[in-house]
A = this chain, B = another copy of it.
């Protein structure tokens, strides 16, 4: 087979099993300190079995990060597709975003590592996520502008500005993984300031 790995229904099962096991180990020890032997032992298999399903270690890690990004956007889509008004949606979007990223230890570590060169696959993944996030933010801002909750002249540009600000909020998550409640209070404060500037008066 030419650089493709078994992905029929049967083997998706084993691939997903490997990804789940790897995910826990990467979360606990990090990418570097987790060995292929660790992952294999967690599955009670030989190390070389992993290479039947994945090309290499980084590909397993990529699959873990893709899964975690998928989880993140699944949650964000639920927020955007809810029946709430635009203001509530935006608030919920930001809180859900930061909270979920905080929980997805591997995704968070990958974001952090990316600042120092990170992984080959991560650039593409990040770009894809940024585009998806822009779409979601545009959707919320357009809803708010349509019903006059928000006063935004250039929605796409505002969405980009928002997304950039959200990235800045990621930095505190790199340092402290404990007091998210404190961080949440901070987010609420920032939201109030943001809304004061956005809500029509």
**A interface residues (Cβ-Cβ under 8 A, vs B):** 29, 33
- Set of chain B residues within 8 Å of A33, measured between Cβ atoms: 29, 33
In Å, the complex CA distance between A29 and B34 comes to: 10
3 intermolecular pairs with C-beta atoms under 8 Å apart: A29-B29, A29-B33, A33-B33
In Å, the complex CA distance between A33 and B29 comes to: 8
In Å, the complex CA distance between A29 and B33 comes to: 8
CB distance from A60 to the nearest CB of B (A): 18
**Residue ID in chain B nearest A35 by CB atoms:** B33
In Å, the complex CA distance between A29 and B29 comes to: 6
CB distance from A50 to the nearest CB of B (A): 19
**Residue ID in chain B nearest A38 by CB atoms:** B33
In Å, the complex CA distance between A9 and B29 comes to: 36
- Set of chain B residues within 8 Å of A29, measured between Cβ atoms: 29, 33
CB distance from A81 to the nearest CB of B (A): 35
**Residue ID in chain B nearest A32 by CB atoms:** B33
CB distance from A36 to the nearest CB of B (A): 14
